[in-house]
Structure 1
Amino acid sequence: MKVLLAAVLVVSAVTVPSQAVAAEPLAVPGQATAMQRDFGLTEAQVQQRLAAETSAAKLLPAAQKAAGAHYGGAWYDENTKKLVIGLTQQTHAVAVQATGARTVVVPVTAAALDRRKAAVDKLAGKAVPDAVSGWAADPRTGTVVVNVQSGKRSAAVDAFVARVARAGAVTVREVAAQAPRTYAAGTVGGDPYYVSNIRCSIGFSVHGGFVTAGHCGRSGTVRGWDGSDIGTFRGWSFPGNDYGWVSVGNGWWTVPVVLGWGQTSDKLVRGSWEAPIGSSVCRSGSTTHWHCGQILAKNETVNYGNGQLFYGATKTSVCAEGGDSGGSYITGDQAQGVTSGGWGNCSSGGETWFQPVNEILSAYGLTLHTA
C-alpha cells in the first residue's frame, strides 16, 4: 500500500555550532553514517558525492539558460558525477557544455513533456485503477511513464493506458506490487507534532512557523512533542497537492535545523536549491529517523486510491513508515521537500514521494528559515 508521511519542526532550543562552516554543503559525520549505510559508500565517498551533487544543482540554472528553447530536462549522472542536460537540437551543445554540464539528445523539450504530462493528468481524471501507482514525465526517454504494480496488469489497466496515451508517447513500467499509502499515524511516542488524533513530523522552519504535509492538516490546536500548544494550521491542501503550514507561537520558536535523532548531528538548513534527478537525498522523520536514497523522478502523479491523486510529486528510493509524514528531505544543507507517502518500510525497503518545498513556499508566500 501507499502511505502518507509527516514531518516534525524543531521548536525547542537547539545548539548551533559557532565555528565557520565549509562553503560546500557536505554531510556532517552522522549524516555520512546514514548515507554509508543506505548507499554502501565510505565516508570519503559520501563527502565527494555530496560535493559533486551540490555543484550540479547550482549549475542547473545557467545550463538551462544556455539550452534555451531546446532544453529537454536535466538529471545527475552518478557514474560521471556530472549534470546532464537533454537537448532536442545540438546547436546549443557547445554553450551548455561551457557551463560544465554534459549534453545528450532527447526527443522532446521539457516544456512539451510537461504539457504532455498535464494532458495525461486531465485524461486520467479520478477513475484510476488501483494497480496504477502513478505516472511521471521522464526527460531521459521523452515519454510519460505509467507505473503499474507487478502482476496486476488487467483489461482495466490497459484501457486506462490507452486513454491517457491520447496525450502522446506513454511508456508502461512494472513496479513493486504494493500500492502507495500515506504515512500519518495514531498518537504514539517520539518527537512529533500532534493534531487531533494524528501524529506527523515537522518539515522545515519558515519565518512564522513550519511547513509539513497537507494530509496532516486539521482544524484545532497543534501540539508539540511535550504536549504543549505550538499553534494552528494556517493552510493545507490535499489531495492534488500535499502541503500545509502551521503558525508558531505559545513560547515556541523556529530554527533552521533538521533533527539528526542521534544518528547525525542536527543539520543546518542553508537554502533550497533543487537537486536534479539522480541526486542523493536524506529524510528525517519522527518514526524512522534518518534514511537516505536517490531522487528517481519529478513531477510524478501518485495514485493513493479512492480518488486521491497527488500531482507534482518527487519520487525517491528512501524508505519511510507511519508518522514520518511531513518530515524533511534534504540534500547536503539544501531543503528539498516534505514527506507525503510511499510503499514498503525501513526493514524491507520501499519508495517514497515528497512535496517539493519551493512550491509550498510559493503557494503561501513563506520564507524558508535558513542559517
Structure 2
Amino acid sequence: MSHKRIPKRKAAMAAGGAVALGAAAVLLPSANASQDGAADDATPRTLRAADASGLSARLATELGDSFAGSYYDSAERRLVVNVAGGDAGMVLRAKKEGVTVRQVGNSTAALKSAARTLKADATIPGTSWAVDPRTNKVVVTADSTVTGANWNRLQSTVRVLGSGMATLKKSAGTFKTFASGGDAIFSRTQGGTVRCSLGFNVTAGDGSPAFLTAGHCGVAAEQWSDSQNGAPVATVDQATFPGSDFALVTYDDPDTQVPSAVDVGNGQSVEITGAAEATVGATVFRMGSTTGLHNGTVTGLDATVNFQSETGGVDTVTGLIQTNVCAEPGDSGGPLFTQDGGAVGLTSGGSGDCTRGGETFFQPVTAALQATGATLGAGGGGGDAGDASDQQPGAGQSGAGQSGAGQSGAGQSGAGEQQSDAGGHNSGPAYGSGRTRTP
C-alpha cells in the first residue's frame, strides 16, 4: 500500500508533528505508578491521578444520591469522596474501595439546585460558577467588569443561597475567550486576521482527517490555514458556541496524515492515547500558540461561564472544566492534556494572563467527541486514557513561550495585520449568539 506524504506546511498543522514521544520524558517526568494496597480494606490506598476518574465514576454509581463529588489529593495521592447522608454500610463500602470518605452537608442535588438558582437570577456577563468538591460548595466568581447593580444582584443571590452553600470571590481580570493552543491556525475575515490553535487531531465520523478546536473559533471563520497569509487547508464541519465551545474542522486534503500527538515545543511531543475525564485536584498541561506550555490544577467541574457577547448580551457556556492554568488571547482551541497522554479539554476562555495568573476554562474533549462523532487520531482512541498525573513537569513553566508552537503563534502575527482572537475581543468579527455552523 502506498502512503501519501503529508506536505511540510500541513505537517506543521498536525498537533504532534512527526516527533516521537521518546524525548518527552525529559519534559514530563514519569508519574509514580504506585497503587499500593492497604493494610486492610478500610485503609485509604495511594493511587495515580490517572486512576482517580474511573474509580470516582464507579463510586458515584454505587453510592447513588449519597455521592456528593470527589477530588484527588495530590499530596497524599488519594481519592477523597464526599458522602451526604447515606447509611453506615454505604460509607463502609466506599472505604473498602480504598478511598478517603468525607461526610458533607450538601448533596449533589442541592448543589445543582444552587447552580440553577444562579442561572435564573445571576446570569451576568463576567461571572462564572462551579462546584468545588473540596469545600462542598458552589464557588461563584465575578470578574473586574461586574460592578454596581450587577455586583449587588450577584451578592444578593449568593447571600440567599447561604454561606454553607455558596461563596463569592472577585477576579482581577476579565473573562474572555482566548483564541490559540498547540499549533497556530489562521483565517481571514472582514475584521482582519483571526488566530486560534489546533487542539487534537481526530478522525471524523466519515473517516476524514480532521481536528478539534474551540467553537468560538469555528463560528468566527469557516476556512483555516496553517500560516497567516497561506491558502486555506481545512474547513469547518461543525461548530457550536455558546452553550458549548467546540468545533470539528476537516482537512481539505483527504490524504492528510493526522498524528495523535501534541507538539510541546523544542522538538518534543506527547502522544495522545485516548480521551480522559478531568478530576478536581489533578495536574494538567496546556499548550498554546501564544504562551507555549503551562501546567496547573483542575479546580472545578461542570462550570458555567457568562462571557460578554459582541452584541452586548451574554454568551453562556456550560459543562466546562475550571483550572488555574494560565492562558492568553491566541490560546483558544488548544489542547489540555495529561502527562500520560490523555486528551482532556480544549481551551475556551478565562481571565488573567501568564504573568499574573488567573482562571481558565476548557471544553471537555469527551463531550466534543460524542457530539461530533469523531475519534482521536487516525481512527483510534475514543476511550479513557486515564487522568492527569500528580507529578509536576520538569520544564513546563520555564519552557513556555520558548517552544516551537509558542513562537509560531506569536512570531507570525505580522506587522500591519489586524490580529485578533476569534471572539473579536480586539478587532475580530462578531458572532451570533447561539450560532451553530454546519456547512
1:247 pairs with 242, 246, 250, which one? 250
Select between 152-161 and 284-293 the one with higher mean Cα deviation.
152-161
When the two structures are superposed, what TM-score results if normalisation uses the length of structure 1? 0.80
Q: Counterpart in 1 of 2:212? A: 211
Tell me the C-alpha RMSD between the 2 structures. Answer: 3.0
Secondary structure of 2:264's counterpart equals: coil
Q: Counterpart in 1 of 2:187? A: 195
What amino acid is aligned across from residue 258 of structure 2 in structure 1?
T
What amino acid is aligned across from residue 133 of structure 2 in structure 1?
P
Secondary structure of 1:275's counterpart equals: coil
Is 1:311 aligned to residue 307 of structure 2?
no
CA distance in 1 between partners of 2:233 and 2:109 (Å): 42
CA distance in 1 between partners of 2:261 and 2:112 (Å): 33
Is 1:359 aligned to residue 355 of structure 2?
no
Is this contact kept in 1: 2:196–2:332, CA < 8 A? yes
What amino acid is aligned across from residue 71 of structure 2 in structure 1?
W
Deviation of 1:345 (Å): 1.9
Larger radius of gyration, structure 1 or 2?
2
Q: Counterpart in 1 of 2:177? A: 182
Q: Counterpart in 2 of 1:116? A: 114
Q: Counterpart in 2 of 1:278? A: 281
* Residue deviations 1:170-203 (CA, integer Å, cap 9, x gap): 5233233211122227xxxx94111222111111
Is 1:158 aligned to residue 160 of structure 2?
no
Is 1:237 aligned to residue 244 of structure 2?
no
CA pair 62-156 structure 1, distance change in 2 beyond 3 A? closer
When the two structures are superposed, what TM-score results if normalisation uses the length of structure 2? 0.69
Select between 75-84 and 320-329 the one with higher mean Cα deviation.
75-84
What amino acid is aligned across from residue 180 of structure 1 in structure 2?
F
CA distance in 2 between partners of 1:51 and 1:259 (Å): 28
2:357 pairs with 340, 349, 354, which one? 349
What amino acid is aligned across from residue 184 of structure 1 in structure 2?
A
Q: Counterpart in 2 of 1:302? A: 305
CA pair 12-100 structure 1, distance change in 2 beyond 3 A? closer
Which sections of structure 2, spanning at least 5 residues, go unmatched?
1-11, 35-45, 205-209, 382-439
Select between 55-64 and 219-228 the one with higher mean Cα deviation.
219-228
What amino acid is aligned across from residue 59 of structure 1 in structure 2?
L
**Where do 1:129-144 residues align within 5 Å?**
132-144=126-138
Is 1:256 aligned to residue 260 of structure 2?
yes
CA distance in 2 between partners of 1:294 and 1:12 (Å): 23
Deviation of 1:47 (Å): 4.8
* Residue deviations 1:49-77 (CA, integer Å, cap 9, x gap): 99721122232222223322211111111
Which sections of structure 1, spanning at least 5 residues, go unmatched?
1-7, 20-26, 33-42
CA pair 111-244 structure 1, distance change in 2 beyond 3 A? farther
Q: Counterpart in 2 of 1:40? A: none
CA distance in 2 between partners of 1:367 and 1:102 (Å): 35
